[in-house]
Structure 1
Amino acid sequence: MAENVDLSPVTQSDPARPRREPAIKRVLPRTLFGRALLIMVTPVFVVQAISAFVFFDRHYDTTTQRLAQGLAGQIAATVAMLERDDIGLSRNEVFNLAQRTMWLSLSFEEDKRLPEDLPPPQNTILDNRLVGALQERLAYPFAIDTHTLPEDVRVWVETDDGLLRVVVSRKRLFSSTTYLLVFWTVGTAALLVPIALIFMRNQVRPIRRLAVAAERFGKGQDVPSFKPEGAQEVRQASSAFIKMRERIKRQIQQRTEMLAGVSHDLRTPLTRMKLQLAMLEGTPEAASLKEDVTEMERMVEGYLAFARGEGTEAPETTSIGDLVREVVDRVTREAGHVDLHIEHDYDLPLRREVMRRAIGNLVANALRHGDVVSVRVGRRGTTVEVTVDDDGPGIPRQQREEVFRPFHRLESSRNPLTGGTGLGLTIARDVVRGHGGDLLLEDGPGGGLRARVMLPA
């Protein structure tokens, strides 16, 4: 006695529930081109960002500090010359000397003090470095203004005799190398990124062509113009694909040629047996043998149709709506009525004859086992679907995959008097999968069976 086995799946989590991707995967690019470009560009920007933060910050700070110290030293030297009487220079001569040699514009107001309405120094590198340098070299109160005038910086120094006002060009406190560094940093990035884009696009293009060729071949379409190109690894993968394609085509051709010979060899003795039975007409044994020969001939035809598969028929652009309408018209002329509804019509690359036989087999099965049959043609996402529904006894859920096995018949669920060799559904699924789609059996809305043909749009 066979043991009862629980066929229910045992899983720790619901496989139908989609797994939530990590946050990093949702942010990263999905394509190989995007990821490869990210790998190339990210180090460039990271290195430039680090160098800009470390070198540029230190360079700008050091340069500004040294320029500020130089200016503070010149102002301190001018104040010292104004306070000393033994150098033999008047105030105007000191101002002219400072203007000529140090590019300082000076003015002096006697008995004046620092104005109270001067703007306070701002928290910038220039203000901090200039204030620090003046504090180191001057023993007098001072004030600075680096933002009021667009091109000049002003400094006030309160001496014992009055208020000294110094105006100097802002360029003396800035270095042009700072801008050159920014230019070269941004410029090199702007130059390297387009080069990386062009390079990566050329490297990814052969991979995309290989993917398209594999997808077309999986749908039963030939790709004679495909050739290896690109990097060595991509060429190796392309060569392997071409060799695989040739092996598959050679195997199909050998199988077709072999079965053509088998067909000829089997038809000949069957024909002789039918002729001999015709001479024995009228005997009970002859009638029984004639039924056996007819059954054997039908089984041989079914086996050859299954083994030939799609044969050598070339795909051509076909209207799926017209094809299904033709199948329904042909089947309903022989038996039954079919409710046909075409939501949208689509042109697909199909092997017309084998697809017509596959869909016709599904519709004929539905009419054989049900009274009400409906056929629908529509689109769901990226697939075009042809559904065939009936109100017959259906097929138990646990046996729906078994019916696709060659020569498998469900005697307990289908009427054995209806005939059939158990190859119809096998051939139909083989044809649909040869076009890159799939054939599924489900519960029908009318309580019977639904056959769902899914083809890539």
Structure 2
Amino acid sequence: MNPLRRIVPRGLLGRALLIILVPLVLLQVVALYIFYGSHLDVISRRLAGAVAGDVAMVVELLGRNPRQEDRGWIFREAAWRLDLSLAFEQGAVLGPAANRRASLPLLPLEEDLDAAMRERVRLPFDTDWQSDPRSVIIRVQLPDGVLHVEAARKRLFTGTLYLFVIWVVGSSALLFGVAALFMKNQVRAVRRLAEAAEAFGRGRDLGPMKPEGAAEARQAALAFNSMQSRIRRFVESRTEMLAGISHDLRTPLTRLRLGLAMLPAAAQAEAQAMTQDVEEMDRLISAYLAFARGEGTEQAAPADLAELVEEVAAKARRDGAQVDLAVPEEPVIAPVRADALRRCLGNLLDNARKHARRIAVALTRVPRPDAAGAWAMVTVDDDGPGIPEESREEAFRPFATFSAGGTGLGLAIARDIARAHGGDIVLEDSPLGGLRARVRLPV
């Protein structure tokens, strides 16, 4: 796996801001490097050279005028004209090099001052940057003692650096904030379109969405509204057509059933088999129409999946199945089409009841791998013959049957309903020795 994928944001907003932020930061870094590496370096060397030159001048004057009264005059003139505070420690000797670093480590102050002092004074010295936050103390070893020079720290660097840093950081933050606000509004339109498509795919009719954002996002919203209207009209027309087909097909079946019932008693034995065929035809028609209709007219609403699973299991017990049930005590609320989901789970339990003696149904809640919500897992286990692994996907195809007496639509309808809710159904080996149907639904 590419390591860059771990640090690159997955969302459109994060990636768009990254595209804006990376060139902006690189540009500011280049500008800061040019300023820091050329202009600031030159200015720092010049300011350090000026301070070292003043100290060298004072040292030279003291060497040429060793008298006490001359020393006092030199100290007063240095304080007035050079802004240097001087003191002399008679007979003192500098100890080991004790240069302490400046409190501004990003600036080349210490190195530039040391270089200038070595070049211009050419006497043993050390510097103290930490005793006074407003000044730097320079000690120079003279033949008869140590000269203490206190120079204002502002003489060694310029405030332009702070203005430049504030400008760099401030302009970057301002541009990033404007870009983030603008991109957030653009991404919001795309996110709402995705949410509307997800809700429509799960059977929730939220109505047409309001076009907003950039021209492309508005165009996509208008195309989605148009598609939603066409699909809704198609479902409505198909439902009306299927209702008419159901009426047209069941009318002759009803006449056949009545005709068979009115046959004489001597023909009832033969009529019984024909009546069973008519009922089988009626059941097949109901199954075919249910599959074609797809439960598309029901609206999704919050429901407790635990109660729904208990209802389906109770109905299976009434039909003669032995069902072991395990559901959590706390409610598992999810937006579902309750009738459609009952049909989905009912089909799974009916299939298990036809081929097995024991059925186990369990409802659990598991987190999603992407940490976006959770899944509700409904497992239906049985101890029947099962389905070979290579044939399990084939079992979901319409009209695919693996035993006599089935229409081949139970699993197809169940998966269609699960996927319409944003989930799915998979078939696996059951711990009971038969087949496990695992229904996954978003919570």
Normalising by structure 2, we get a TM-score of 0.82
Task: Map 1:59-78; keep pairs closer than 5 Å.
Answer: 59-77=39-57
Aligned length: 424
The answer as to 2:27 corresponding to 1:50 is: no
Residue 293 of structure 1 aligns with which residue?
A: 278
The answer as to 2:335 corresponding to 1:349 is: yes
Task: Provide the C-alpha distance between the structure 2 equivalents of 1:82 and 1:375, rounded to a whole number of angstroms.
Answer: 102
How big is the shift at 1:253?
A: 1.2
Structure 1 vs Structure 2: percent identity of aligned residues? 46
Query: Which whole-Å deviations, capped at 9, do the CAs of 1:369-388 have from their partners, x for residues lacking one?
Result: 22222222222332212222
| Candidates 141, 148, 152, aligned match of 2:123 | 141
* 1:114–1:142 CA contact under 8 A, matched in 2: no
Residue 152 of structure 2 aligns with which residue?
A: 169
The answer as to 2:395 corresponding to 1:403 is: yes
Task: Provide the C-alpha distance between the structure 1 equivalents of 2:333 and 2:86, rounded to a whole number of angstroms.
Answer: 88
Q: 1:66 to 1:292 in 2, by over 3 A?
A: same
Where in structure 1 are there 5+ consecutive unaligned residues?
A: 1-20
Query: Which whole-Å deviations, capped at 9, do the CAs of 1:79-131 have from their partners, x for residues lacking one?
Result: 6667789xxx966655554444333445678xx78833274556873344334
Task: Provide the C-alpha distance between the structure 2 equivalents of 1:255 and 1:209, rounded to a whole number of angstroms.
Answer: 29
3-state SS of 1:242 partner: helix
| Candidates 1, 7, 10, aligned match of 1:30 | 10
Task: Provide the C-alpha distance between the structure 2 equivalents of 1:326 and 1:148, rounded to a whole number of angstroms.
Answer: 79
CA RMSD of aligned residues (A): 3.3
Residue 95 of structure 2 aligns with which residue?
A: 117
Normalising by structure 1, we get a TM-score of 0.80
* 1:407–1:421 CA contact under 8 A, matched in 2: yes
| Candidates 19, 28, 35, aligned match of 1:39 | 19
Residue 101 of structure 1 aligns with which residue?
A: 81
Task: Map 1:30-429; keep pairs closer than 5 Å.
Answer: 30-77=10-57, 96-105=76-85, 115-117=93-95, 119=97, 125-137=108-120, 141=123, 143-147=125-129, 149-150=131-132, 151-154=135-138, 156=140, 158=142, 166-224=149-207, 226-281=209-264, 282-283=266-267, 286=271, 289-344=274-329, 345-381=331-367, 382-410=374-402, 414=403, 416=404, 419-429=405-415
Q: 1:170 to 1:315 in 2, by over 3 A?
A: closer
Q: Which amino acid aligns with 2:95?
A: D
Residue 7 of structure 1 aligns with which residue?
A: none
Q: Which amino acid aligns with 1:318?
A: A
* 2:382–2:436 CA contact under 8 A, matched in 1: yes
Task: Provide the C-alpha distance between the structure 2 equivalents of 1:165 and 1:402, rounded to a whole number of angstroms.
Answer: 95
How big is the shift at 1:149?
A: 4.7
Task: Provide the C-alpha distance between the structure 1 equivalents of 2:253 and 2:126, rounded to a whole number of angstroms.
Answer: 115
* 2:208–2:225 CA contact under 8 A, matched in 1: no
* 2:93–2:141 CA contact under 8 A, matched in 1: no
Residue 14 of structure 1 aligns with which residue?
A: none
Query: Which whole-Å deviations, capped at 9, do the CAs of 1:44-80 have from their partners, x for residues lacking one?
Result: 3333333333312433321121123333444455566
Residue 5 of structure 1 aligns with which residue?
A: none
* 1:219–1:437 CA contact under 8 A, matched in 2: no
Task: Provide the C-alpha distance between the structure 1 equivalents of 2:62 and 2:198, rounded to a whole number of angstroms.
Answer: 89
3-state SS of 1:338 partner: strand
Q: Which amino acid aligns with 1:340?
A: L
Q: 1:132 to 1:357 in 2, by over 3 A?
A: closer
Where in structure 2 are there 5+ consecutive unaligned residues?
A: 103-107, 368-373
After TM superposition, the structure 1 stretch with the greater mean CA deviation from structure 2, 437-446 or 253-262, is 437-446
Q: Which amino acid aligns with 2:317?
A: T
Q: 1:92 to 1:361 in 2, by over 3 A?
A: closer
Query: Which whole-Å deviations, capped at 9, do the CAs of 1:355-380 have from their partners, x for residues lacking one?
Result: 22222222222222222222222223
* 2:203–2:298 CA contact under 8 A, matched in 1: no
3-state SS of 2:326 partner: strand
Q: Which amino acid aligns with 1:302?
A: A
Task: Provide the C-alpha distance between the structure 1 equivalents of 2:100 and 2:2, rounded to a whole number of angstroms.
Answer: 45
* 2:94–2:141 CA contact under 8 A, matched in 1: no
Query: Which whole-Å deviations, capped at 9, do the CAs of 1:304-361 have from their partners, x for residues lacking one?
Result: 1111111311222222222222222223223233222213541222222222222222
* 1:435–1:455 CA contact under 8 A, matched in 2: yes
Q: Which amino acid aligns with 2:364?
A: G
